[in-house]
Amino acid sequence: MSYPQYCPSPRELDDLELLTTGTLVPIVAFNEPGSPVTLSLPGDVQAAAESAGGVELVDPEGLPLARVSLPGGAVEPLTHAQYGPFRRYYLSPEQVREQHPDRKVVPVVDALSEQQLERLSGAGPVLLLAFVGTGTPDLTPTALIRATLAVAARLEDAYVAAVPLASRGDATVDHALGAQVARTYAGDADVLALPDAGDDATYAPDVAAIIEADQPGPEEQGLVLFFTGLSGSGKSTLAQALMDRVLEQGIRTITSLDGDVVRRNLSAGLTFSKQDRETNIRRIGWVAAEISRHRGLAVVSPIAPFDETRQQVRAMVDEAGGAFFLVHVATPLEECERRDRKGLYAKARRGEIPEFTGISSPYEEPQDADVRVDTTGRTIDDALQDVIDALAEAGYLDLRTPPAAEQPPSLVEQGGAPATTARRNPVSDEASAPTEVEEGALAPASKPLKVLFVCTANICRSPYMELTARHLAGNDPTLEFASAGTHGFTDEPMNQPMVEVLHPGTTGHDDFRSRRLTTAELEWADIVLTAEASHRQFILDDNPALFRKVFTLGQFIEAVADIGAGVHGRELLGQLQQRRGPATADLDVADPYRRGDKAARTAADHIDRLLRAAVAALSSAGKAT
């Protein structure tokens, strides 16, 4: 009967290696009575192992390392771990006694100080035994070996060996086990235990440099910004606004793992059962932790309703050496339900969505949040400020100072797309030279404002918007228009029912051909106006940094109405951020495709109403003349 396979924890993997090399003698097997060297199997694996008589332990990549018999826990090695930096220094007690006999063995769990070095210089031939197991050194294992090699180079006669003795989280047990291992390595020679470095310790310059490089300050550390809260609480909105600020500062890059986006990609197919939600969050946590391992910044915004799973993510990030910062977007259920921007709460109340968080599935309020923000009755910028202040206070990220070149908001060019890249003008289809506008610099008032309309296939609504807007604008030199589709085919003509409802005198429909939305077009545009919220979301999923310039046409007009008459062009764009309301479904322009002439007429009338207000507000012609 074949043994079930199991990949143990990092601590257990370290122990396995030590058991197979005889490092832990007199302990020779897992789970000896009273021994701290344990292997714990999940219930199903334990049951299968008991009936098979043992378990096969594999490394995280699935390579079989050893068989462990049950009961008894005796270990039969299959392969030795052969990889990892400085592997050549991982010597067994037998190898040490053979290669480096009669040396005092000095256990090392941290970089050695100048004072400790001084102590060693008169000690004769030594073997510095670096304890590099999981959780033992404060430094990473590689840095501890590097620092120990640097110290050995300063001594007259010293060698270095490494042993992966892991911490059990109990100082007394760790100390006893460490002493026992050191004695095993020493054999007949002595063990020389150095006193702790103490607070006044100083380090040789090369050792100090190794410590510093290994322990980045909080501002250089990887960071996982974790927004948790009910659906509609404002997680994505705040996360996106925060990412804008990070990108504007230009110091760090970001990986965004938005709840909805993850569900469409990394977690496609998962449901909202407790188990699937946990899987979803652990996947997000795993990816985010890997990003933090490489000192990146990951911004994640799932509901993450369960405390235990959030704690697991915290532990994963911690293990990867990153910092975990929990933002509880604590907008109460009543407010989220009032917003109901996706209409999901209403459905959940009607029983059409089972296990809906806050209604029929629990949300466990975090007790360990680094900051708690209730967005009720507050502007996005105001709520964001709480997060920014808390981040700065924690020392991870200081977004309080605006970029040096910050200009008065009404004059700053909108959007986060780099302004120095070559831009294609989608209207004329000519490649334009790189613009002379530097990021953050004033956008010359004389430059036309570029408006991009977006719908699904660029054959009904967005071409109608483009052509009608141009018709309404007449010869207005302050405006340029283009359109594109999120999906669908390119080079299709405009849909005939929509051509039929164009205003008399509107030109361009004969030559019009559909186009798929590209990054170049998004960069070209000063403002992007979409037919539906789903188009806006589609763009923001891939380009969260464009948050400030993408609106649904209906959402834009609501904000314009709020700002009032008399504000035009770029000045208007500057004020939009403060007046931005939600892109709710009732503001969408319904899709008339294949729904007959009446639907085309309805869509055209709806668009006309919105466009008249839009063109009047976006045009600076009245002001310029």
Ligand X SMILES: Nc1ncnc2c1ncn2[C@@H]1O[C@H](COP(=O)(O)OS(=O)(=O)O)[C@@H](OP(=O)(O)O)[C@H]1O
Binding-site sequence positions for ATP: 229-236
Q: Is 378 in the site for ligand ADP (CB under 6 A)?
A: yes
CB 68 within 8 A of CB 74: yes
Our finding on whether 237 is near ligand ADP (CB under 6 A) is yes
Contact 483, 462 (CB under 8 A): yes
Q: Which of residues 209-268 bind ligand X (CB under 6 A)?
A: 231-232, 236, 259-260, 263
356 near ligand X, judged by CB under 6 A: yes
- The label of the residue with tokens 């008339």 reads 592
- The Cα 400–Cα 325 span in angstroms is 17
Distance, in Å, from the CA atom of 284 to the CA atom of 268, rounded to the nearest integer, reads 12
Residue 380's binding partner out of ligand X, ligand ADP, none, with CB under 5 to 8 Å set by partner kind: ligand ADP
Residue 625 C-beta: closest distance to ligand X, Å: 46
Sheet containing 550-552: give its strands across: 479-485, 449-455, 527-530, 550-552
Return the one option of ligand X, ligand ADP, none that residue 344 interacts with (CB less than 5 to 8 A, by type).
ligand X
E-strand stretches of 132-267: 158-163, 223-229, 254-258
Answer left, alpha or beta for residue 493, where phi above 0 means left and psi between -120 and 50 means alpha: beta
Query: How far apart are the C-alpha atoms of 334 and 234, rounded to whole Å?
Result: 13
Supply the minimum distance, in Å, between the C-beta of residue 289 and ligand X.
17
93 part of the interface to ligand ADP, by CB under 6 A: no
Q: Which of 280, 462, 483, 577 binds ligand X (CB under 6 A)?
A: 280
Q: Which does 238 bind (CB under 5 to 8 A by kind): ligand X, ligand ADP, none?
A: ligand ADP
Length of the chain as a residue count: 625
Q: Which is nearer to ligand ADP, 278 or 335 (CB)?
A: 335
Which C-beta is closer to ligand X: that of 133 or that of 259? 259
Q: How is residue 325 written in tokens? A: 């910062």
Tell me how far apart the terminal alpha carbons of the chain are, to the nearest angstrom: 89
Binding mask 295-334 for ligand X (x = CB under 6 A): -------xxxx-----------------------------
The region of 135-143, 277-285, 291-299, 543-551 touching ligand X under the rule CB under 6 A is 277-285
The site partner of 178 among ligand X, ligand ADP, none (C-beta below 5 to 8 Å per kind) is none
**Annotated binding-site positions:** 229-236
Tell me: does residue 281 bind ligand X (CB under 6 A).
yes
Alpha helices of 548-595 — where are they, by DSSP H?
A: 553-563, 569-579
Residue 236 found at the interface with ligand ADP (CB under 6 A): yes
Strand order through the sheet with 5-6: 5-6, 54-58, 64-69, 75-77
The C-alpha atoms of residue 18 and residue 77 are separated, in whole angstroms, by: 11
Choose one: 10-18, 231-239, 357-365, 595-603; the region binding ligand ADP (CB under 6 A): 231-239
If binding is defined by CB under 6 A, does position 533 make contact with ligand ADP? no
Cα(527)–Cα(416) distance, integer angstroms: 12
Identify the residue among 375, 456, 530, 577 touching ligand ADP (CB under 6 A): 375
Is 235 among the residues that bind ligand ADP (CB under 6 A)?
yes
**CA dist., res. 597 & res. 496, Å (int):** 9
Q: Which stretch binds ligand ADP (CB under 6 A): 179-187, 314-322, 375-383, 462-470?
A: 375-383
Q: What is the DSSP string of 10-33?
A: HHHHHHHHHHHTTTTTT--BTT-T
Cα–Cα distance, 108 to 184 (Å, whole number)? 15
Q: Measured from the CB atom, is 104 or 342 closer to ligand X?
A: 342
| The entry of ligand ADP, ligand X, none that residue 305 binds, CB within 5 to 8 Å by partner kind | ligand X
Q: Residue 16 interacts with ligand X (CB under 6 A)?
A: no
Binding map of ligand ADP across residues 332-371, x = CB under 6 A, - = no contact? -------x-x------------------------------
CB-nearer residue toward ligand ADP: 212 or 381: 381
Which residues 96-155 are close enough to bind ligand ADP by CB under 6 A?
A: none
Cα 130 to Cα 140, 178, 180, 556, distances in angstroms: 11, 11, 14, 63
Question: Does 234 engage in binding with ligand ADP (CB under 6 A)?
Answer: yes
Nearest to 416 by CA among 548, 512, 562: 548
Residue with smaller CB distance to ligand X, 344 or 621: 344
Listed residue (321, 253, 324, 254) closest to 285, CA to CA:
324
Name the nearest CA neighbour of 612 among 502, 469, 475: 469
In this chain, which stretch among 97-105, 205-213, 230-238, 482-490 interacts with ligand ADP, using CB under 6 A? 230-238
Enumerate residues 287-326 that contact ligand ADP by CB under 6 A: 301
Distance CA 14, CA 133 (A): 6
Site for ligand ADP in 567-586 (CB under 6 A): 582
Nearer to ligand X by Cβ, of 93 and 305: the residue is 305
Q: Total residues at the site for ligand X (CB under 6 A)?
A: 21
Cβ-based neighbour number of residue 181 at 10 Å: 23
Continuous segment of H or E residues that includes residue 539: helix 533-542
Nearer to ligand ADP, 222 or 234 (CB): 234
Q: Should residue 544 be labelled a site residue for ligand ADP when binding is judged by CB under 6 A?
A: no
Binding site for ligand ADP (CB under 6 A): 229, 231-238, 301, 339, 341, 375, 378-380, 383, 582
Residue numbers at the binding site for ligand X (CB under 6 A): 231-232, 236, 259-260, 263, 272, 277, 280-281, 302-305, 342, 344, 353, 355-357, 361
